[in-house]
Structure 1
Amino acid sequence: MASKKSPKPVVRNSGSGASLIPWLGLATIVILLDQVSKITITRLFAYAETLAVTSFFNLTLVYNKGAAFSFLAQESGWQRYFFTALGLIASAYIIYLMRQHSAQKLFCWALALIMGGALGNVIDRLLYGHVIDFLDFHYLETYHFPAFNLADSAICLGAALFILDELRRVKK
């Protein structure tokens, strides 16, 4: 009489490389949209040229040698290398996290957006020595939010999704 062996359960490795493809694809789309928008704005505008689009929004070409909100922009130049290295290290860590948690869709969406935005700005620092910003929101023409770009927008959206994911996880 033959003994029946029960089949071994299928163990899915959420850290498989194949599961990274959608997230790396999303990050790549962010990088491409960011770079195309920056190339377009630099071809259409001279430095500091501004086009009023609405009563609260302008397109304007400015350069940021620092980080968010021009943090450290007035330093001697070391910040370019620091923020480039930081963006590359953060991206490597994000890939590690996405490998470990590739089944968590909202979490990986957030990470992919953050990584795409970070790498978009890293590309600027490597190619130009500064980040190209062009989105200028303001109130009454006097109170301007610091200019930013699509990479920055992706980072902020990713951070918001990350917070939402954490709040959902805590609620469970």
Structure 2
Amino acid sequence: MRLFGITALLVFALDQASKLYIVQGLGLAERLRLDVWPPYLNLRMAWNRGVNFGLLSNDTDLGRWILIGVALAISAGVTVWLMRGAHRPVALVAGGLLVGGALGNVVDRLVYGAVADFLNMSCCGIDNPYAFNVADIAIFAGALGLVAFTGRENTP
């Protein structure tokens, strides 16, 4: 479980540091856009009040607290589940990615009232209108890793 905790802590720290540097340090919250390597990598400020791609988005405090509760419940559930059984190291890393990312987005909702999304990538003539952050990448990779690397046939 140590690997799980270290992964979660590193993801959380990287997510929060990137948000602090880009949103506050580079002033993206005021500038709203910075082209880094167009069209492949751009910074576009987006305050996400919902889940991925703005789904379940609303501007109510109730919605915000529900999403915080759901993220905390999922994080606790994944943590307890991983603590209860023997899992390969890759599964512990995947769980740490998911939990660290989820907690990073929870902090955003507590501090800003919304999740700070800022990474935007496009390619090959496709203009991607969506932004995401380090926590979103970790949550996606962690969920995928848990599906791929856990189960009876995958335990040590």
Q: TM-score, normalised by structure 1?
A: 0.78
Q: Distance in 2 between matches of 1:164 and 1:61?
A: 32
Match of 1:74 among 58, 62, 65: 58
RMSD (Å) for aligned C-alpha atoms: 2.2
CA offsets 1:71-103 (integer angstroms, 9 cap, x no match): 122353422111100011111111111211344
Q: Equivalent residues in 2 for 1:1-172 (5 A)?
A: 20-43=1-24, 44=26, 45-47=28-30, 49-54=32-37, 55-139=39-123, 143-166=127-150, 169=153
The SS at the match of 1:133 is strand
Counterpart amino acid of 1:71? Answer: L
Distance, in Å, in 2 between the alignment partners of 1:146 and 1:68 is 9
Output the CA distance in 1 between the equivalents of 2:145 and 2:112. Answer: 30
Distance 1:153 1:66 in 2: 16
Q: CA deviation at 1:126?
A: 0.9
* Larger helix fraction of residues: 2
- For structure 1, the residue ranges without an aligned partner over 5 or more in a row are 1-19
Distance 1:48 1:78 in 2: 29
Q: Is the 8 A contact 2:3 2:93 kept in 1?
A: no
Q: Which runs of 5+ in 2 are unaligned?
A: none
Code of the residue aligned with 1:58 in structure 2: it is: N
- Give 3-state SS (helix, strand or coil) of 1:135's partner: strand
Provide TM-score, normalisation by structure 2: 0.85
Asked whether the equivalents of residues 101 and 108 of structure 1 are also in contact (C-alpha less than 8 Å), the reply is no
Give the letter for the 1:62 counterpart.
Answer: A
> For the structure 1 residues 140 and 75, does the alpha-carbon distance in structure 2 shift closer, same or farther, using more than 3 Å as the test?
farther
* Matched residue count: 151
